[in-house]
Structure formats: structure tokens, C-alpha cells
Amino acid sequence: MSTDPAIELPFYYGSISRSDAEQHLKLAGMDDGLFLLRQCLRSLGGYVLSVVWNLEFHHYPIEKQLNGTYCIAGGKPHCGPAELCEFYSKDPDGLVCVLRKPCLRSPDTPIKPGVFDNLRENMLREYVKQTWNLEGEAMEQAIISQAPQLEKLIATTAHEKMGWYHGKINRQEGERRLYSGVQPDGKFLIRDKEVSGTFALSMMYGKTVYHYQILQDKSGKYFMPEGTKFDTIWQLVEYLRMKADGLVTVLGEACLNGKPDEKKPAPPATRRQNGYSPPPKALALPMDCDGFNPYHNPNEVRKFNIKRSQLLIDEVELGSGNFGCVKKGVFKTESGQVDVAIKVLKSENENLVKEEMMREAEIMHQLDNPYIVRMLGLCNAESLMLVMEMASAGPLHKFLSTNKNTVTVENIVELMHQVSLGMKYLEEKNFVHRDLAARNVLLVSQKFAKISDFGLSKALGADDNYYKARSSGKWPLKWYAPECIKFYKFSSKSDVWSFGVTMWEAFSYGGKPYKKMKGTDVTRYIDEGNRLECPPACPEKMYTLMMECWTYKYEDRPDFKKVEESMRSYHYSLSNKAKAEEAAAAAKPVK
């Protein structure tokens, strides 16, 4: 997630108020062109440039545009706050004067963190940890894959963790709480109004309680009548602490909601005692689904040896292969029942196949990632059975071809980003999958993908970066890179090639790659320099990435670290675009 790009600048003060800025400029001598930079309290990611000219102060808001550039209203865009200040130190371009002399922060004036900045990252972590019981690397991955939605969620619910937030209480109860104890001017609380989704501010002034309604515009921004608009309630409160903005006075001491562990703005590490309450439906994230349950108690549920009595096996077949079939079932544990998928070996199968399944289980047992199907254990009874968490929405290609009309391109981008995260994890752990294809990407829900089928996978030795097959077998040639077919060499780079084909399948809504060709013809086709064409609905950026995955020489092909970065930045850019469109639609004047 982003850190503040202005943090390096010696004339940057962070989240200080306008009057504080003016104070600093006064102390520094009020020369013409003296300037400093501070954080804008109104727009997330924006700044204010404060400049002295002719013994007067001028404050210029700098907006962060949705494409990531920064500009002063009416001015040219710049790639960062440093570049912007540099530009205006040469050319006034509409300012009262050029920036002449930076007002430097003294060593005893640290950058003042914005309340939101300061806690946002920790809150994200805490949210993910509490909600999905994730830790460490898996938690970081969940955050990366869902950052845009998570940030929005945190922005809209962060106030619930603040001491001044009292939830749904009426006006009288608000007054009762404010009158109890000391009654200084500015003592305040925020409460939910009866009409859900709207907030009110109650504050003390001259021993009397005043109530204000907090308004919300169509794009969801909060504001006081005639006042400045903010993305979050939290920012509004922080702003009103510095500026009255129409209130009788600025906000002062918070009237605390009295829960013992929320005395101060609750440090994010504090566990909420009342436990987790799921977000409203509209805000639900990919992981807020029943299918996520197997992950909740990883230690309890992951048992390598499963007793037959703990399994209920359904007659319903989820899929089949030459090994046998995959059946739906239920796994009973002390903490409850879990839906599972059970790979059952055909009983007539010989030891060879048994060994293969044991090897698959051994690989899966070593993997621990939200975007990889989790194995819960093996059960050796009427036949050998591999018990996995259930991905009930089934294989990606089937899902997409039956839901063509309802699945958006953004949705596909999000899913493929998750697949790239899972593959990056495999690459880091030195595993090669060798059968990555849309048929082996299973969906827990429309928004949550997991890589499965480790039947061909290999763990590489610490010093190896490829696996050499002794002979070719029943291979998915259309998904294989040239070096696999020619030299039997398998690496994470050859998985990258398969990832490209998987992307192609996804963006063609479950289409068959190289439709009419035989596997052997495809090899020649590729050697001649041909590649799959761009599917009709596929965004250009995604096709460019596929083409990179199909770089002939594996040395020149990107690795999953690189692929994931590309998927991530495209995924985030679409989320930002969606946000911008939402805001634009809401801002349209209505008659």
C-alpha cells in the first residue's frame, strides 16, 4: 500500500492545520516566496501548498488525480508532490509568485501523521486477521488481492472503532451521556440516527448540548451543512477538531462510549470483544463467503490422517478423471462440519496410481495459501481418498461459459489476479504446477479463485530451477511452453506460459485455445511465431501480458513476481476507475 510520497521533503509538515502552517511561516520570517507543504485533510492523498507573498498567506490545494498525478486546480499535472514543487519554483504558472525558499521543518518538529494514514494499514491488517483468521504471509496476500475493496470498507467503517462513536442511540441518550461527568465546551460524540446510515453529531457548548445532522451526498461523502466534504466520518471529525466549519465551536474532548477497551481511539491491535460482525452485503469481500470456512481453524481442521467415521460421502460427483472421481462430502470435526470435496481412487486401481495420489497429497500438504485449494487430509478406507476444501462454484472455464452475461471483465481480472498470487506463492516455494489451466482453477464463489489439481506438480530441489521429465506423457500440450515439449524441462517460467493460456481461456469466457488444432500442430504453430489471438472482450493490457507470458525463450519470459505485479496494477486501476465513475455519476446534477 502507498506510503506518503511527500515524506522525504524537508518542507513537508504532514497533517497540520492552516493556522499551524501560518505560524510556521511567521516564525520563518515571512519572506516573499517562503513556502511549505502540508497534507490536505479533505481529499485522501491530496496536499496544500502554503506560500507567503507580500506578508500575506496563500494556500493552494493540490489534488491527487485518479490517474495518480498531482495538480493545483487549473495547473499542469505532475507525477509527485516533489516534482510539482520543483516546477513551481521555476514558473509561477498562476501562483502569486514562484516558490523561492522552503520553510524547513526543525528537528523537533516531526511530520504530523494524519489520523487516517496512521491507522489505516494496521486497521486493514487487523480486519483481515479477525475476519478471516489469516496471519503472516497469507494475510499479506489477502490484503494485496483485495486492497481496493478493503480500503473502501475500512474507510466506511473505521469510525466504529473510535471512542467517540456511540452507535445507535437517540438524541436524549446522547444528551445524557454528554451531561454525565465534566462538561467542557466542545465535548462531543457521534451517533447513528434512527434512519439507518445517517449520522448525527452531539456536542456540548456553554453547558448546553447541540445536535447537528451529518449530511451525505450521492457519492457517499460526508459533510456539515455548507461545509467541506470528506470521504469518511473519521476525516470529518478530525477536520472539525481544527475548524468549526459552521459549528458553535471546534470539537474538543471526545465523550467516550464507555466500553473499557475503547477508552482512547482504539489501538488497532485491540481485539473487539463483541467479535466480528460481517459487513453489509454490498461491501462483502470475496472471502466473506461460506466456502471460506475451512480456513477458519486451520490447525484444527488440517489433519493428515482422517478417520473414515469422520466422513460423510455424498453420491454427487463433482468431476471425474482416470484416477477415479471427485465426490461431494462432509467432514465432521469437533468444531463443526465442513463441506469437502473428496477425490476417491477407483478401487480396482493399482499401487502405481495410489502412489501418484500420495505424491499429490504430499505436495498439497506443504502448501498454505488462500488461493490454493487446501488439502485437509487423506483417508485410507474402502479406497484411498484425498479430502480437500470445497470450491463449490466449480472450474473457471465452465463457470465463465455458463455465466457469460453476468460476469464482467473486471471480475475476471480480479480472479486472474488471485491466480497470479497463488502462482507467485508456488514460485517462491519452488514448486512447479505443470497443469495450470482454467479447468484446474476452481471457484469458491464468483469472486474467489483457487488453484487446484497438483497431480502433475513437483517440488524442485533447493538448487534446481527446473524439473526434467524422463519421458513425455499424457500432457496438456496446448498449455505447455516450448521447452517442456522439446526438452522436457519444467520450471515456474513454463507455468507462466500456462498462465498466459489460462488468461486467454478466462477472457474468452471459457473458450478452447487453438480450437481445431491438434496438440502437435500447436507446437509447430508456436515455433513459426504465431500466438493465440486477442479474445474479443479482452482488455489490451491483459493481452499484452498474455503475449509476454508466451515469450519463446524462458530466460526472457517474466516470472510470477512480475506477472502478479502487472495483474495487481491493472486490477487496482480498474477499481479506481470504477470509483471515479461512481463519483462522476453521483455528481451529475439532478433536476
Q: How far is the CB of 148 from Mg ion (least distance, A)?
A: 31
Query: Residue 394 binds which one of Mg ion, ligand ADP, none, with CB within 5 to 8 A depending on kind?
Result: ligand ADP
Size of the site for ligand ADP (CB under 6 A): 18
Residue closer to ligand ADP, measured from CB, 233 or 375: 375
SS3 526: helix
- 395 contact choice in Mg ion, ligand ADP, none (CB below 5 to 8 Å, kind-dependent): ligand ADP
State the binding partner of 513 from Mg ion, ligand ADP, none, CB within 5 to 8 A by kind.
none
Q: Going by DSSP bridges, is the β-strand pair 188-192/165-168 parallel, antiparallel, or unpaired?
A: parallel
Residue of 435, 464, 521, 527 marked catalytic: 435
Tell me the closest approach of the beta carbon of residue 453 to Mg ion, in angstroms: 4
Give 61 or 394: the residue with its C-beta nearer to ligand ADP.
394
Residue 391, interface with ligand ADP (CB under 6 A)? yes
Please report, as a single letter, which amino acid is at residue 105.
R
DSSP labels, 430-478: TEE-S--SGGGEEEEETTEEEE---TT-EEPPTT-S-EE-SS--S--GG
Triad 212, 215, 217: Cα angle to 5°: 170
Contacting residue, 319, 476, 513, 519, with ligand ADP by CB under 6 A: 319
Contact yes or no for 340/331 (Cβ under 8 A)? yes
What is the rounded distance in angstroms from the CA atom of residue 17 to the CA atom of residue 241? 10
Among 37, 390, 451, 549, binds ligand ADP (CB under 6 A): 390
Q: Which stretch binds ligand ADP (CB under 6 A): 60-68, 163-171, 230-238, 391-399?
A: 391-399
Q: Between residue 395 and residue 454, which ones bind ligand ADP under the rule CB under 6 A?
A: 395, 439-440, 442, 452-453
Options 123, 341, 563, 574; binder of ligand ADP; rule CB under 6 A: 341
Q: What is the largest CA-CA distance in the chain?
A: 93
- Residue 236 burial (10 A CB sphere; 0-12, 13-18, 19+): buried
DSSP H stretches of helix in 180-268? 233-242
Nearer to ligand ADP, 9 or 437 (CB): 437
Q: Which residue among 388, 416, 532, 546 contacts ligand ADP (CB under 6 A)?
A: 388
CB of 394 to ligand ADP, least distance (A): 5
Contact positions with Mg ion (CB under 5 A) in 435-474: 440, 453
H-state helical runs in 158-209: 171-179
CB–CB of 37/84 below 8 Å?
A: no
| 318: partner contacted, choices ligand ADP, Mg ion, none (Cβ within 5-8 A by kind) | ligand ADP
Q: Is 435 known to be catalytic?
A: yes
Tell me the residue ranges of DSSP E strands in 184-303.
188-192, 199-205, 208-216, 222-223
Beta carbons of 491 and 466 less than 8 angstroms apart: yes
Distances, alpha carbon 285 to alpha carbons 188, 280, 301, in Å = 33, 10, 23
* Contacted by 139, from ligand ADP, Mg ion, none: CB < 5 to 8 Å by type: none
Measured CA to CA, the distance from residue 154 to residue 148 in angstroms comes to 10
Q: Which does 341 bind (CB under 5 to 8 A by kind): Mg ion, ligand ADP, none?
A: ligand ADP
Tell me phi and psi for residue 430, to 5 degrees: 70, 40
Q: Which of 28, 169, 373, 484 binds ligand ADP (CB under 6 A)?
A: 373
* Residue 326 binding result from ligand ADP, Mg ion, none, given CB thresholds of 5 to 8 Å by partner type: ligand ADP
Binding residues for Mg ion, rule: CB under 5 A, are 440, 453
Contact residues: ligand ADP, CB under 6 A: 318-319, 321, 323, 326, 341, 373, 388, 390-391, 394-395, 439-440, 442, 452-453, 455
By annotation, the residues acting in catalysis are: 435
